[in-house]
Amino acid sequence: MSLHVVVGFGPAGAATARLLAGQGHSVRVITTSGRAPEPGIEHIALDAADSARLIDAARGAAAIHGCAAPPYHRWASAWPPLAASLCAAAEATGAVLVLLGNLYGYGPVDGPLTEELPLAATGPKGRVRAAVWERARTLHEQGRIRAVEVRASDFFGPGVTDGGHLAARVMPRLLRGKPVSTLGDPDTPHSWTYLPDVARALAEVAAEERAWGRAWHVPTEPALSARQMVDRLAARAGTGPVAVRALPPAVLGVASLFSPLIRELKEVRYQFERPFVVDSSAYATALAVRATPLDEQVAATVDWWRERLAAGG
């Protein structure tokens, strides 16, 4: 088995590291603070934007999985040095660079999102995310690195707490049968990507040479509105029906005065105010991972949150 370096230990990084370790690989996780070791996983504390130190940590790796993300309000300043360091480490070590991306780079579009769409975002977060992949793709085309990007829609599932629109703001209330609030229109179709499927896709493309050199959408079940997802989650929990309402613009305006996250979400509000539908058929045609059936996603998510809340999380 191979050594895999996972940069970042948020929900996606943690799920990917643990999946790879479970497959028998050696895993080295890079974070700024480090953590205690766990079976099959070594944790190293360093700033991944420090290319010299990252190169040393990645020596001998088959793949570097870029799963870290700077704080939302610092994307424009922090992403470029991190991306440059990841590319430098891939070039110096020969490891495949596997980037976890998102869908911001496309900007608002009409119709389903496919990998063939141009990266035409005009907002700063969309532009910086597009630039991360464009840099890696250019180096790949020059033969200097081997790179692939996996793009996901909004995460949900076990392990997704902060930042997920079906996470800490929704699940505890839903499990108590209380009304929940959502960004944008709760009845517009939206694609939700299941976190374990993100990890499985990142692990698969690292080992599939035919996947390299392009971006792929994580296998994702057909889009459902926020209301439909809440209905399914509440039905599984036995707490439904749960009222679902949109956060009023005035509330968002006041919240943005105190929360950098809410303030920064203005750029991508369109994702929740109009249909936001991911087409992942290209991945299904070429590769093996498939989206977990929705009923299994819902069951695992409810069970995980129940355990977390029962434990005082």
Check pLDDT > 80 for residue 257: no
78 occurs within a structural domain: yes
Stated pTM of the model? 0.95
Residue 1's pLDDT band, with cuts at 50, 70 and 90, is confident
Domains of the chain: total: 2
Contact 233, 172 (CB under 8 A): no
Q: Exposed, middle or buried: residue 33 (CB in 10 Å: 0-12, 13-18, 19+)?
A: exposed
Average pLDDT over residues 77-83: 97
Regarding predicted confidence, which is higher, 269 or 9? Answer: 9
284 occurs within a structural domain: no
Is residue 200 located within the same domain as residue 73? yes
Element (H, E) at 225: none
Instruction: For residue 305, give the nearest of 175, 116, 183 by alpha carbon.
Output: 175
Q: Which domain holds residue 304?
A: 161-190+222-276+293-310
Regarding predicted confidence, which is higher, 146 or 246? Answer: 146
Check pLDDT > 80 for residue 263: no
pLDDT at 260: 65
Is residue 202 located within the same domain as residue 113? yes
